[in-house]
Amino acid sequence: MAELTRFGISMGSALLGQFDQLIERKGYVNRSEAIRDLVRAALVEDQWERGDEETVGTVTIVYDHHTRDLAEKLTEHQHSHHDAIISALHVHLDHDHCLEVAVVRGSAEQVRRLADELIGTKGVKHGKLAMTTTGEGLR
């Protein structure tokens, strides 16, 4: 069980009023939860900027499955990093298009490199890396 600390912060009433509106619109139940989320997002961003710690990213790619040899190439890329790719989800978007999301674990640099490889594969139309976290230490 994580130990909880309680501390006070002061904020201008106008700023707080706007923040309360924002968190209501975003569906937060209270200020603590919204502020913890801002803090965690800042920590994850910093982690990715520094680039050394172990982290997790998801790589989303969209491609036309009719492209010759594409599926094999993607599988090959993924297997040559099999220790880094935890899992992958495949979705059929329409008659032609597939979307694949791979969950990748490693240093920020490794995850970025693998994302570049997958996104740069001939036939991949679009790709995006979402930089997230192992969750450790963010309690």
Q: Does 119 bind a second copy (CB under 8 A)?
A: yes
Paired tokens of 60: 């989303």
70 binds a second copy (CB under 8 A): no
One residue of 53, 70, 71, 99 binding a second copy per CB under 8 A:
99
- Kindly tell me which residue out of 69, 75, 80, 86 binds a second copy, with binding defined by CB under 8 A: 86
The nearest distance, CB 48 to a second copy, in angstroms, is 10
Q: Long-range contact list for 72-80, CB < 8 A, 24+ apart?
A: 73/121, 73/122, 73/123, 74/100, 74/118, 74/121, 74/124, 77/114, 77/117, 77/118, 77/121, 78/102, 78/118
* Residue 111 found at the interface with a second copy (CB under 8 A): no
Of residues 14 and 79, the one with the C-beta less far from a second copy: 14
Could you give the string, one character per residue 11-50, with x where binding to a second copy holds by CB under 8 A and - elsewhere?
Answer: xxxxxx-xx--xx-xxxxx-xxxxxxxxxxxxxx-x--x-
**What is the CA angle 61-66-70, rounded to 5?**
55
Is position 75 an interface residue for a second copy (rule: CB under 8 A)? no
The C-alpha angle 131, 6, 15, rounded to 5 degrees, equals 70
Q: How far is the CB of 78 from a second copy (least distance, A)?
A: 14
Q: Are 89 and 35 in contact (CB under 8 A)?
A: no
82 binds a second copy (CB under 8 A): no
Among 70, 71, 88, 107, indicate the residue that binds a second copy (CB under 8 A): 88
In 3D, which of 86, 70, 79 has the Cα closest to residue 127? 70
